[in-house]
Structures are given as C-alpha cells and as structure tokens.
Chains A and B, each alone.
Chain A
C-alpha cells in the first residue's frame, strides 16, 4: 500500500498559477511563435505604404497610424470614447448573461418552464440583435440604453441555451450518487448540477463576450455620437484612414484582451478539469 502511495505523482494543486505567471508564459520564447504572423503583416503593410502600392489616402504608413493614435489620445479624447464603448459592453454583457443564467437554470431544472419559454425564445432568437436595434432606438432613444439592450439580447441566447444544455447533460450516475447520499433537490442543484454544467456555461460566456464586443462597434456606428464604433464610421466619412485604422487596431486588441481574460477566468473556474492541452 505504501509503495502505491509513493509511486504515484503528488497532486499538482500546490503550484496554482498566478495571473503574472500566465503573462510570463504567454510572452515566453516558445509562445513567441504567435507574434510571427502579426509582424509579417506589419512588414507587408510598411512595404505597401512605402512603395505606394496603395494610395496613401486609403492606406497610410504604420508610423502615421501610430502618430494618429497619440493625436487622438491627447487631442481627441480617444479614452472617453473607449470608456464609453467598454461601459456599454460591460453593462450589456453582465445584464444579458445574468438573465440568461437565471432563466437558463430555471428552464434546465423545469421541463415545464422550458416548454413555457421555448416557442417565444426560439422565435426572438432568430431575429438578430441588429434587427431589433431600430425599434429599440425608437423606444429608448439614441443613447446608451438601446445599445446595452441589444448587446444584452445578443449575449442572452448563447448563454441561455448552453446553460440549459449543460444542465440537461449532467450524467445520470451523478444523480444516482446524490440519491444515495440523500441530497435534497436544492443540494443536488448546488453541489452537482451547477458544477457539472459550468464547463458548458463558461464556453458560452467566452463566446458571448466576443459577440458583445463586436456588436457594440456596429451599434455605435448606427446611432449616437461617441464610442469607438462612432469614431470608425466618422473617420470613414471624413476620409481619415489613419484614424480609421487606429480604431480598427484598438478594437482588435481589446477583443483579443477580452477573449484572453475570459480564457483565464475559464481556466481558473475549471481548474478541476483536465483536458487535452495540445
């Protein structure tokens, strides 16, 4: 018996990784492979600009774009617009995800409640958020609430459906175990069903966060006078390709950051799960 204990590897729970160590890992030489492609694109962009393959009005050189970035930062309150977009996305994401989790758990646990909701939800779901937007703007005006609402709607459905699915696919053997332990319904939900559904829910939250960020740009472009989406469409109208590219790069990088944060959150929440790591 002792030999068994000795030959088995010790649990690796001791070295629970800090966020900083993740950052280090990410920037380590072996992970530098992910930087090759962006550098390649940057080089190609520089070549295209300096050799004037494309009219500089439409494709300014990278350096010009960097200059435009600092000019926007110092003279044009880029941060204010950035904060406006971020606020709308956060509010929309949080409210949509919260409602989806509550109703998703409800529908997952009660077949009746699911049957009550599903015809309505399955219809609304197929009307894209952006198709709702004009009507919502008529009701709520051009300000932030309409955008928050549309983002919440877009976040709601993937999270709702995955929560429902996650709950429904809990293994029957675990339910049996709960019965043997004489767990009450509430204990069963809290100790077994919700944790078992968490992996599915986390995936949908990560996916929905990406959707939310993409949608805010569209919504801001369609209405209102602030935010990155507004800036990008204004830049197009004024033929300011450098500012347009600044906005695009910022949007891309923020989206990347959102996705990575969601990934880290997912890893933290699901640290008990061992999967294929490539």
Chain B
C-alpha cells in the first residue's frame, strides 16, 4: 500500500450559480483533518454538503474554493489512491463479481498474477467466496454492497470514501455490514471517510464524527469518539455522544426520537 498520508481539508467552499436566485452555497468554508488510518464520519441532514465534500475529496468535482491536500498536495482529479463506494453498489451488470472487482485494477500496472491474488483475497475479505462468477442481479443488496466495498479496496488505496454505502439496506443487514466494515477497516489499515445521515452508524464506526448542517452547508462540530471497541450501542456513554451530535445538528426533534429509541432498547 502507498504510505497513508494526512488529508487536510482547508476552508473548502462550493457554490452554484442558479439563474434568478442568490448564489447557492452548498458548502461554506469547511475545514477538518484526517490522520492516516483514521475512521472519520461526516454526518448531517440532507443538503448539508456532506456528499459534495466527498465528491471533492475523491476528485470527481474539481471546481471549489479552498484547498484539499493529500500528502500536502492539492487534489486534482481522481486517483487510484482514493477509492469510493457509492450508495448504489454500481456494480456493472454485464460483469461477474470478480470481473467487477478486477476492473478497479485495470490501470494498476500489476501483473495478472498479482491482480488475481488481490481479487481473490478481497472477495474473501468481504465473505463472498463462491460468488466469483455471479452476476450482480444474482446477488442480494447486502452482497452487492460487499462486492462494491471489495472493489473499492482491491487496489489498496490510501483512503476509502464511503458515500452512504449502507443507506439502501434493511436494518439487520445494515448493522451486520457496519460490524463487517469495522473489521475490514482494522484488517486493511486504510483511512476511511464515511458519509452518512445515521448518527448511530457514525458513532459506532468512527474515531471522529464531523457534524454538518445545512443552509449553508457547513461543519458545526467535530466530536471525538473515545469509546472502546466493540462499541455498545445502548451504553450511557454512547447515548451521551449521540445526544452531543444530535444537539450540534440542532435536531431537537431527533433527540426526542433518539430517547424514545433508547427507552425501547
């Protein structure tokens, strides 16, 4: 793996010109750092610019003010050192699982042998052995998303960006995949940045939760999560952190809901 570098997001803003309306600020002066090997989550309501920020970091969108630095260099365009997992698994329907994962290695410059080994190892990593030759339509939603995670990791990127990868899954599969994701993060030692609107998910997985809010999209708070793992989702410490995050989001309604959920649990 390439030496994991520090990611620095410095006063990043993005706005759109909408004809006949005031300029739309999707992201206003966002700053945060990600240490190598860390797990950072961006949480916030829709419209807070969290996905925009992720697209900027992966390099799909190059038009912004401020600076995003990796190894001290400004990010310009996509790179194999930054992998991404989208909310829809985005596996190509005409390729089998192993071909889909292999596509990420197309420009890796590795030998066929090394590629095949990496593909095999990553299929094992996400627990999809036996499905190498399966087409995406033959996989369940959870399995397809595991495949997408394997594809994101196979090229051994420094950073894996996760854009609400579990958002479309049912609750049980989701919790299971959160645990999987935590295990994979430990095994691979890769820096992970997760965008989610699920506060539980963010606290369960992260070292740091970056809380964002909308109108304009901005970072309102960074919360360190110092709980030992595996984390108990119903412990008082977990609840306290959740309250802190929700409060920062200004989600009073959410707080009430969260209390109800805790009472039920």
| Interface residue ranges, A against B (CB under 8 Å) | 1-2, 4-5, 8-13, 173-174, 176-177, 179-184, 187, 191-192, 195-196, 198, 271-274
Q: Which residues 52-93 of B have a CB within 8 angstroms of A?
A: 58-60, 78-80, 83-84, 86, 88, 90, 92-93
Assess whether A191 is in contact with B133, with CB atoms less than 8 Å apart.
Answer: no
Q: B107 contacts which chain A residues (CB < 8 A)?
A: 181-184, 187
**Other-chain contact of B135, A5, A177, A184, A272 (Cβ < 8 Å):** A272
Assess whether B106 is in contact with A13, with CB atoms less than 8 Å apart.
Answer: no
The verdict on B131 contacting chain A, using a C-beta distance below 8 Å, is yes
Q: B59 contacts which chain A residues (CB < 8 A)?
A: 180
Q: B259 contacts which chain A residues (CB < 8 A)?
A: none
Report the minimal beta-carbon distance from A106 to chain B, rounded to whole angstroms.
Answer: 22
Mark B127-142 against chain A: 1 for CB-CB distance below 8 A, else 0. Answer: 1101101110111101
Assess whether B180 is in contact with A181, with CB atoms less than 8 Å apart.
Answer: no
Report the minimal beta-carbon distance from B9 to chain A, rounded to whole angstroms.
Answer: 19
Assess whether A13 is in contact with B135, with CB atoms less than 8 Å apart.
Answer: yes
Assess whether B133 is in contact with A8, with CB atoms less than 8 Å apart.
Answer: no
Report the minimal beta-carbon distance from A42 to chain B, rounded to whole angstroms.
Answer: 42
* B183 to chain A: closest residue by CB: A1
Report the minimal beta-carbon distance from A212 to chain B, rounded to whole angstroms.
Answer: 27
Q: A8 contacts which chain B residues (CB < 8 A)?
A: 139-140, 143
Assess whether A191 is in contact with B103, with CB atoms less than 8 Å apart.
Answer: yes
Query: Complex: how many Å from CA A274 to CA B137?
Result: 7
Q: A9 contacts which chain B residues (CB < 8 A)?
A: 138
Assess whether B137 is in contact with A272, with CB atoms less than 8 Å apart.
Answer: yes
Interface residue count for B (Cβ, 8 Å)? Answer: 36
Assess whether A176 is in contact with B143, with CB atoms less than 8 Å apart.
Answer: no
Q: B96 contacts which chain A residues (CB < 8 A)?
A: 13
Query: Complex: how many Å from CA A8 to CA B83?
Result: 28
Q: B176 contacts which chain A residues (CB < 8 A)?
A: 1, 4
Assess whether B106 is in contact with A180, with CB atoms less than 8 Å apart.
Answer: no
Q: Which residues 172-215 of B have a CB within 8 angstroms of A?
A: 173, 176, 180
Report the minimal beta-carbon distance from B236 to chain A, rounded to whole angstroms.
Answer: 29
Report the minimal beta-carbon distance from B139 to chain A, rounded to whole angstroms.
Answer: 8
The 4 tightest CB contacts between A and B, nearest first, are A11-B134, A274-B137, A195-B94, A11-B138
The verdict on B104 contacting chain A, using a C-beta distance below 8 Å, is yes
Assess whether A173 is in contact with B90, with CB atoms less than 8 Å apart.
Answer: yes
Assess whether A5 is in contact with B127, with CB atoms less than 8 Å apart.
Answer: yes
Q: B79 contacts which chain A residues (CB < 8 A)?
A: 182
Assess whether B103 is in contact with A10, with CB atoms less than 8 Å apart.
Answer: no
* B161 to chain A: closest residue by CB: A180
Assess whether B133 is in contact with A11, with CB atoms less than 8 Å apart.
Answer: yes
Mark B95-135 against chain A: 1 for CB-CB distance below 8 A, else 0. Answer: 11000000110110000000000000000000110110111
